[in-house]
Amino acid sequence: MKKLLTLFSLVAAFVLVISGCSNDSSGGKGEDGKVTLTAWAWNVNVGALNEAAEKFKKENPNVELKVEDIGRLDVYDKLSTGLAAGGVGLPDIVLVEDDRIHGYVESFPKGFLDLTKEGFDKHGESFPQFKNDMAKVNDTYYAMPFDAGPTGMFYRRSVFEKAGVNPEEIQTWDDFLEAGKTIKEKTGAFAMPLDKFKDDPTFRMMLNQLGVYYFDEKGNIDLTHPKAVQAMEMQKKFDEAGLIKDVDGWNGVVSATVDGSVATIPFGAWYYGTIIDQAKDSKGDWGVFQLPAFEEGGNRAANLGGSSWMIPAASKNAKEAYKFLEYFSTTPEIQTMAMEKHGLFPSLNTAYESELFTANDEFFGGQPIWKMFTEEMADVPTAYYTKDYSLGLDEAIKAQADTFNGKDAGKALEEAAKRLKDRTKRDINKH
């Protein structure tokens, strides 16, 4: 009997601890009727949330927001742990990168608030199709689109001028290949940087502009698609011509940006912030043009990066969290603030009506660079990530390394697809 009482006491204590964690995680209403929402985010997103919350409070004085600045990967560790525990310890609001949304919803189908039931679908036309596709699973919104990463070729004006290359004449990747050879010969600068054996951002951008990705719309492995092979073969052409500077991770890309050893950096619009922060002395020496197409008149739009906001279903303040996030995500002035002060390029198309998105940028030689990025958004194809995105990324990088080491691109991707099939049990799309 004594043992049973001891066991019961332990269980009761455990329940109290769990309940306490759950209550603390989402604030809750105080005796004065005020609600404290908790949010998990990282980096510049924290400042954007806090500023939006101050403006929101003017019309909603009963709502407070407590933002926890947590490292990106730490957010995912804590989120996964909380979801696996049935929602214990989770916040009311969490920032999630677009490539992870579908994976979380597929793994935890009841883990997040159904935003369609809350009425968010009425805002669908305010966002580009690809962001809507990322925010929805089976036509149901589980996330509110936030920032995006429309892509471009950030380039050094002085390097192009010294080589006698006009960026406006670069329409295709073949054009850029020839321009890169001229630039290397006359200036010594590489065409672009890449951590060739650890990351594949250029390959991902190429896939996206071609309308394919690691997986297709049905979730089948699509690495053997002819367009995927085309993209990998194009990268190989640049490598064989000695035009890719092999760098060590993110710091290597930034170093190449600062020292001018590369003529261009193909990246998302968010890289603007890194350039103006890390390469201050190069003000006026920058420009940007769209990704080259694979054929004359082909698509030049793609996206790299971006995130959205989600509300864990366990939130005790889901109603208030939804109201705040709806305000944050669909108010042009708020999205313009996030862009102007924090460099977060908005997905909300009504925000583009601000002068900010048509103004000339002095750091970029007076070019209205944001106009180019905003016009690109509507043409970005949807990338299908699935919950196995990280495994797809891993195998694509291996295929890229094999290709750069001399293997045929088609063969390398075929082998990667087979390994991915073994790891995910997904079918390979036959072409």
pLDDT (tens digit, 9 = 90+) per residue, 305-335?
999 999 999 999 999 999 999 999 999 999 9
Q: What are the angstrom distances between the C-alpha of 364 and each of 183, 341, 411, 424? A: 20, 18, 41, 44
> 62 and 140 share a domain?
yes
pLDDT at 429 exceeding the cut of 60: yes
Distance CA 427, CA 405 (A): 27
Determine the average pLDDT of the residues in 191-216.
Answer: 97
pLDDT band for position 12 (50/70/90)?
very low
Q: Is residue 431 part of a domain?
A: no
Distance CA 82, CA 40 (A): 13
Phi-psi region of 105 (alpha: psi -120 to 50; beta: other; left: phi over 0): alpha
Q: Is residue 340 part of a domain?
A: yes
> 60 and 108 share a domain?
yes
> 161 and 287 share a domain?
yes
> 228 and 159 share a domain?
yes
pLDDT band for position 11 (50/70/90)?
very low
pLDDT (tens digit, 9 = 90+) per residue, 150-188?
999 999 999 999 999 999 999 999 999 999 999 999 999
- In this predicted structure, what is the pLDDT of residue 323? 98
> 217 and 350 share a domain?
no
DSSP state string for 84-98? HTTSTT--SEEEEEH
Q: What mean pLDDT value characterizes the chain?
A: 93
Distance CA 228, CA 419 (A): 16
pLDDT at 13 exceeding the cut of 90: no
Structure tokens at 106: 């597929």
pLDDT band for position 33 (50/70/90)?
confident
> Burial letters for 164-177: b for 16+ Cβ neighbours within 10 Å, e otherwise?
ebebeebbbbbebb
pLDDT at 15 exceeding the cut of 60: no
For residues 417 and 10, which has the higher predicted lDDT (pLDDT)?
A: 417
Give the ranges where 188-219 is alpha helix by DSSP (H). 201-210
* Amino acid identity at 410: G
- In this predicted structure, what is the pLDDT of residue 349? 97
Contacts of 234 (CB under 8 A, 6+ apart): 173, 177, 206, 294
Determine the average pLDDT of the residues in 5-12.
Answer: 38
pLDDT at 97 exceeding the cut of 70: yes
> 141 and 154 share a domain?
no
Determine the average pLDDT of the residues in 381-387.
Answer: 96
Q: Is residue 235 part of a domain?
A: yes
**Within 13 A of 12's CA, how many CA atoms are on the CB side?**
6
> 164 and 110 share a domain?
no
> 161 and 264 share a domain?
yes
Q: What percent of the chain has pLDDT over 90?
A: 92
What's the domain count of the chain?
A: 2
Contacts of 281 (CB under 8 A, 6+ apart): none
Q: What are the angstrom distances between the C-alpha of 430 and each of 220, 233, 247? A: 9, 19, 35
- In this predicted structure, what is the pLDDT of residue 31? 58
- In this predicted structure, what is the pLDDT of residue 431? 83
> 173 and 266 share a domain?
yes
> 227 and 317 share a domain?
no
Show the domain range for 98. Answer: 14-148+305-357
pLDDT at 26 exceeding the cut of 70: no
- In this predicted structure, what is the pLDDT of residue 374? 97
pLDDT band for position 418 (50/70/90)?
very high
CATH code of the domain containing 27: 3.40.190.10
